Amino acid sequence: QVQLEESGGGSAQAGGSLNLSCLRSGFTASRACMAWFRQTPENEREAVAFIDVLGTTEQYADSIKGRFTISRDRAKNTLYLLMNNLQPDDTATYFCAAAFGGHCTLPWSEAKTWQFWGQGTQVTVSS
């Protein structure tokens, strides 16, 4: 059974940093592409960052490019999102997602591409 569990959220001041983690279980990391999304109560789920099956290709939303970094540690079965220079607009619930096979060739920024989701972790940035 595929399971994803996010952690590392919390509160930060503008300009600060947080490092989110997503612990995965129930599947072989080498078969899955993964991503981070975020959502506020007022908006639809928004794509943040993507990493491919091999961990060699990363893609980012324009709104966070240059500030956030996605990475994966296969030995620790963990996906990360390092968030630097946080801004109040980054306040949201952050979700990790996983997909397999042909789903990894679909548009990564669309939520419907992703087959499995974590429960989310809240990030709050104050000015």
**Number of neighbours of residue 101 by Cβ within 10 angstroms:** 11
Cα separation, 115 vs 122, whole angstroms: 21
Q: C-alpha angle with apex 9: 44 to 56, nearest 5 degrees?
A: 75
Q: Are 98 and 27 in contact (CB under 8 A)?
A: yes
119 DSSP 8-state letter: -
* pLDDT tens, residue by residue, 27-53: 876 789 999 999 999 999 999 999 999
Q: Which residues contact 84 (CB under 8 A, 6 or more apart)?
A: 17, 67, 68, 69
- Computed over every residue of the chain, the mean pLDDT equals 95
> What does the pLDDT average to over 76-90?
96
* pLDDT tens, residue by residue, 47-75: 999 999 988 999 999 999 999 999 999 88
